[in-house]
Chains A and B, each alone.
Chain A
Amino acid sequence: MSMIVSSIGQGLLWAVLGVALFLTFRILNFPDMTVEGSFPLGASTAVTMITHGINPFAATLAAFFVGTIAGLITGLLYTKGKIPILLAGILVMTASLSINLRIMGSANISLLDQKSIFSIKILQHLPKYFDSVFLGFVIIVIITAGLIFFLQTELGQAFIATGDNPNMAQSIGIQTDRMTIMGLMLSNGLIALGGAVIAQNNGYADINMGIGIIVIALASIIIGEVVFGELTLNERLIAVIIGSILYRLVLLVVLRLGFSTNDVNLISAIVLAVAMILPQLRHALKLDKVIKKGVTTHE
């Protein structure tokens, strides 16, 4: 039972990444590889600042701003430098490896015996694992509410229009380059914030912790879409959060079923692939029905 609680807690914490990636992957319609760099960037910034005695909440917020810089660089490379987005992201991701080493001074910094955002008093009185459930919930609610509000402002609408149809957006006077850069900054800032939170939950920051992050974030987006189908934009953001929780639960089941841990990566890739194929499959099946209907009416 507490294993499920723990999975829900982890799902809520990791949901930050899903929601952040949603901004670029679903609204702007491109895969942003920068996240594999901005995630450890946020973690190393926050952990290094905490070990230097800075307030954990301030350090977590600082991680957000450092993340926006990574997004800004990718955005500039893409819009002004005309580098394809996939490559621009990979360039920034690669560069941030060196930056992270500069920040941390070594490959791994631990937070044992250090204060973190998880050491605030209220959390200490909760039962096992409810600290991450509680804090994860608060963080994701603040972020999602903020995003829902933002997307309804004039700026947010311009941002959505940029992703929907850049040519149309330009024709009505939206500066699409600026919108793209802003989206990348916001998304990577949130990813870095997620990195800072997860590093504090794990108790350390490691130079390699960004590997595979994009798959985890994609999984929450896609599982949310497959399970809940057609939704409004606001509901889709919430579905991402639930998707992140469901993904953790699937991993838990896989571990519980006694699968060799060596196969976990393969299985999570299969889960993701199946979730992505499912809509096509449904589509194909519906088509079959339509054809049948057509045949019967003719008779």
Chain B
Amino acid sequence: MNKRLLSTIAIIIAFLAVAFVITSKPTQQSRTKTYVPTVGILQLVTHPALDEIHRGVVAGLKSQGYSGNKIKIDYQNAQADQSNLKTMSQKFTNENADLAVGIATPAALSLAKTADGSSPVILAGITDPAGSGLVKSTKRPGNNVTGTSGDSPLQQHLGVIKRVAPQAKKLGIIYTTSDHGGEYNAKNMEKIAKKAGYDVKLYTISTTNDMQQVAETMANAVDVVYAPQDNGVASAMKTLINITNKEKIPVIPAVNTMVKDGGIATISVSQYNIGYQAGVMAGRVLKGKDTANYPVKTITDGDMTVNLKQAKLLGIKLPTSMVTEAENKGEVFK
């Protein structure tokens, strides 16, 4: 057999044997007086909303006194490559990170799996933590995982739909099949809108390329469109709006950036706030709070955002109360 191949195998086996013996011995960690905790932050991909959450987490930790030389933050971004998530989570474990923060569901899942119950994992803006198996229940997580959930205020969104289009009967909801959060919100919205008496139809895209055709079909069949918090739909918002504008149909999205892209109005949760609250929770856990009984915080209070230019284009007169609310607390696009 080839010598080089044999010797490489021999080196690997020898290394593993040595590593096996060394790591079998329990290692003692000595904590010095000025102990600087290490926090790993793992983000799935660079994306405006996720970047906001990350910024919030750092600020939240700071509010708990963890900033500058009082903390070591190791920030990793997997750039949507799922095989990286595993490597990066293990890096945290190897650094003996005291706590890890996961931004977006796959990142959180990877951290939770790698930590395997031993060190705390804080979720930042995970839409459905119980449904994705991260926690037993949002009230009592029951293990090493807790954090904040960025649940869309669906009831309030339905309220916005009623105020913007009081006569509408047929509601179209569009989401991306590969986006767990989008699907979750779309299905929940379907339930509550049906209860409220709407004739609801769900439309799905598998990639942004499908948007044109699906939106055309939808625009001809419904009176008003709801776009949940969904990365795919958010990316293809411009395409959606082009088509709905032709049919003069208003779109009520879930987040304020989508209002800027042509939605009429929404009440949106600040991504920064979701991150901030997660940072605060992380700080408290570092100080010794137990994760198992620390309920997941669902952040739903948000501010009104309206797009007056879009309303004018569609010939819709928004209630003055909505506009003043947006002027006072939220955001107005003209």
Contact = CB atoms under 8 A, between A and B. Distances in A.
Interface in B96-114: 105-106, 109-110, 112-113
Contacts of B222: none
Interface stretch (B158-166, B178-186, B271-279): B178-186
A228 B2 contact: yes
Interface in A87-128: 97-98, 101, 106-113, 127-128
A273 B309 CA distance: 50
Contacts, number: 137
Interface residues of A, number: 54
A265 interface: yes
A8 B9 CA distance: 11
Contact of B183 (A107, A110, A235): A107
A252 to B, nearest CB: 7
Nearest to A127: B23
A212 B82 CA distance: 10
A216 B134 contact: no
Contact of A2 (B19, B76, B83, B206): B19
A212 B87 contact: no
Contacts of A127: 19-20, 23-24
Interface of A: prevailing SS: helix
A2 B4 contact: no
Interface in B1-22: 1-2, 4-5, 8-9, 12, 15-16, 19-20, 22
A21 to B, nearest CB: 15
A251 B5 contact: no
Given A1-B19, A203-B112, A106 B183 contact: yes
B61 interface: no
A108 B206 contact: no
Interface residues of B, number: 47
A203 B113 contact: yes
B194 to A, nearest CB: 21
Contacts of A245: 12
Contacts of B86: 10, 201-202
A268 B242 CA distance: 39
Interface in A1-44: 1-8, 10, 14
A259 to B, nearest CB: 11
A3 B90 contact: yes
A133 B20 CA distance: 11
B63 interface: no
A181 interface: no
A108 B23 contact: no
Contacts of B15: 4, 8
Contacts of B4: 227-229
A235 B5 contact: yes
B16 A251 contact: no
A3 B132 CA distance: 28
15 contacts: A1-B22, A7-B87, A10-B86, A112-B109, A112-B113, A112-B133, A128-B23, A201-B86, A202-B113, A212-B81, A227-B4, A231-B2, A242-B8, A264-B81, A265-B81
Interface of A: 1-8, 10, 14, 97-98, 101, 106-113, 127-130, 133, 198, 201-204, 206-209, 211-212, 216, 227-229, 231, 235, 238-239, 242, 245, 251-252, 255, 261-262, 264-265
Given A107-B183, A242-B12, A261-B76, 8 more contacts: A3-B94, A108-B109, A110-B132, A203-B112, A228-B5, A238-B5, A242-B8, A264-B84
